[in-house]
Structure 1
């Protein structure tokens, strides 16, 4: 660790207030959507292997302070997305029961949202969009996040509802959208579990 040095710190004695202004602009729904993008050209995406078991995946998310990860196989091929709700909600018990397996035998691949069920937005569209536009898109899809693709068809980034909520200091509630009777049933049960 010879190339790094400890930075001197100061006491907080006599400090009682926050600074009068922020160095960066205050964000609102009309701000450019680029301000809330997790851009994979600047930040390495949060990934997880498909065969990680449920408990270990949850442990990784909690300790990494993230709510979702991109799922990959051993060749780094993108397969889908997993979020902490998938790992702690009714979905875990439903899949375990359906497969006649114990919860601890389930993997990320068993619970992820598959790539075929996800939607993406061209990065070029985000460049000309407002945060409010992205929020409306998420609400319309009933998804907590949207992936971004570049002109080559590669994953360029992601925007999540929780990133919007954090940046704007507002609550963001995205209701899941059902596309089949089975999905309606699952959403109702997930909603009842949250209330209970």
Structure 2
């Protein structure tokens, strides 16, 4: 028997309006960046082991309603980030073909973005920043999210473009940036593994 109980729902037939926002100001690009931080001191980060196969990883993300996870090894060492696009895009097929492997044999480690290719901001800097500053940073680095590091160098949190879009109710489009001809070719042809 469960220790939790089902709550009784109510009908909506006599509800015609939304509640007023008396207790909070709507978020804007000028709001504190802290409003869109996933702070790992308040909410445990979404993590996944490096050797989980990509189909199981995608199943976990879809059913957990998350778009990205931190990748760790069996000693809880941080290795990188994987997002749902990594698990479903052309990158997967390209890597499988290059290695002469079945797509289903690939693991999270095979398609993740290594921590060496990720960007981070000091948490102290984000405390003083606006949401617009973070959005501009994401556009400049051409990545969907930026990690936050604490003074002692540990991972403190993350801010993603999708979190900003959801919070502000605006579309956010981050274009991957290329810094060399090789990167331009890889982005155009969907060969992201060439960038590793």
| Deviations 1:91-144 (CA, angstroms, capped at 9, x unpaired) | 001111111111111100000000111110000000000000000000000000
Partner Cα separation in structure 2 for residue 139 and residue 90 of structure 1: 22
* Structure 2: runs of 5+ lacking an equivalent: 191-196
Equivalent residue, structure 1, for 2:150: 150
Contact 1:49 1:73 in 2 (8 A): yes
Equivalent residue, structure 2, for 1:9: 9
Aligned-pair RMSD on alpha carbons? 1.4
Partner Cα separation in structure 2 for residue 130 and residue 172 of structure 1: 16
Question: TM-score of the superposition, structure 1-length normalised?
Answer: 0.92
Structure 1 window deviating more from structure 2 (15-24 vs 154-163): it is 15-24
Question: TM-score of the superposition, structure 2-length normalised?
Answer: 0.92
Equivalent residue, structure 2, for 1:76: 76
SS at match of 1:143: coil
Runs of 4+ in 1 over 6 A off after TM superposition: none
> How far is the alpha carbon of 1:157 from its aligned partner?
0.2
Partner Cα separation in structure 1 for residue 183 and residue 125 of structure 2: 29
Partner Cα separation in structure 2 for residue 111 and residue 72 of structure 1: 13
Aligned pair 1:25/2:25, yes or no? yes
Partner Cα separation in structure 1 for residue 74 and residue 116 of structure 2: 19
Equivalent residue, structure 2, for 1:189: 189
